[in-house]
Structure 1
């Protein structure tokens, strides 16, 4: 294993930490591949609870834009999207109770991964955004699926189109966050204590029944996202969005 994903086990709890703090835990291919391997291993261990969080000031700022710029090879793109699909489906179907603990910003692909968890708790000031639209792309990592599950199809569509940044406190009433708190560590500890006195096998069996039922739809959405993202990467608006991001200015989209 490398060092872009850290794993720590405490009793029945496994902590997984995204570890590129200087890059706000943005997801490059190294981190994604390592996360996929970690999730595969954790899936088969005897822990009962998994906590996913980020090192430093952010949970994850999303996909690594530098990687995006460098990766113009169609086969390389397919491999990245395949790895993203693995991470998303593995975390969503994880036979444990999963908690995403948002210590800071969760944006784009980072938010998609967080939404795959059973519970999302967040620092109330953490920035939340499904902001692919800002660079002329669509959500991936199952973002469409998870947003629809939590918001319903119409509100999910509108929220994706707006791509606006909100705090976790603002996001909680919409259902994008289950708990926004000014005492994240204490809140997480409270959740974990409650779970330690819960019939976890029953909880996990319910999760298996409900999530496995939805898995074919999630996989279909992930495949559609791969096709759609490949198309969007060829658009003038995406090129403009990337250029504007690099130049730190507002993009001038033309709908092409």
Structure 2
């Protein structure tokens, strides 16, 4: 096994044909700030260009997978230029993960919310524990999903169900997420590593070149649609950040109270 020491907010391990990336800001439930996203992107590119790797596993350190975008760091963005850079990083991150020429497994325990859930949705197989809590909860602060989630949810659920899920912002535990089609497998709590080991064995004993050629076909069919969704999300998110409802949502989040939206 080889361990990369060049990153601070993620951990990258390689063992034979398997690479594993851990999000590593456990003190903030692996909230995605600019540094973590940049380091994750660099690690994904490293894995992408490693011809020895067939399977990439994405997990989170600590009590959960990821609580989503780091709201405190997002509040510090001073203008459209900074916002644009962050959104461009998110777009490249999601496109790199979605088009990764490896089988990609995301293993979820605890929270997978907002942008954290978007990353999971960009993978090929999502495994979660039964007491995991998954939420596309941008609506709670009067924003729209980003990270390509409009496209990724449409692919998994269809447009109507995706729209309802986005508008409701509901939290789903593992079994309900499985029933809705958000994840591919829900396993007993505390058994995530056993599930990952089982899926790893399954992939490594399969004809992975044929699997990855099928993935390549779907990526070629869909990557323009995904990029268009990312572009639309960037434009829409900037507009939503200017609304009175978003300002109220942020105040309510900071003050730990229920927001009072006015549709403005």
* 3-state SS in 2 of match to 1:9: strand
1:235 counterpart residue number: 243
Is the aligned partner of 1:105 residue 2:111?
yes
Q: What's the offset of the Cα at 1:2? A: 3.0
2:186 counterpart residue number: 180
Is the aligned partner of 1:114 residue 2:99?
no
2:89 counterpart residue number: 83
Query: 1 CA distance for matches of 2:261 and 2:88?
Result: 29
Query: 1 CA distance for matches of 2:85 and 2:166?
Result: 25
Query: 2 CA distance for matches of 1:9 and 1:92?
Result: 20
1:36 counterpart residue number: 41
Query: 2 CA distance for matches of 1:31 and 1:100?
Result: 17
Q: What's the offset of the Cα at 1:165? A: 0.7
2:219 counterpart residue number: 211
1:9 counterpart residue number: 14
Query: 2 CA distance for matches of 1:83 and 1:111?
Result: 16
Deviation per residue, 1:143-198 (Å, 9 max, x gap):
11111011100000010000011102111011101101012111111111111110
1:162 counterpart residue number: 168
* 3-state SS in 2 of match to 1:60: coil
Which of 56, 59, 68 is residue 53 of structure 1 equivalent to?
59
With normalisation by structure 2, the TM-score equals: 0.96
Stretches of structure 2 lacking an aligned partner (at least 5 in a row): 1-5
Query: 2 CA distance for matches of 1:143 and 1:78?
Result: 18
Which of 92, 99, 105 is residue 98 of structure 2 equivalent to?
92
1:72 counterpart residue number: 78
RMSD between aligned residues: 0.7
* 3-state SS in 2 of match to 1:56: coil
Q: What's the offset of the Cα at 1:43? A: 0.6
With normalisation by structure 1, the TM-score equals: 0.99
* 3-state SS in 2 of match to 1:79: helix
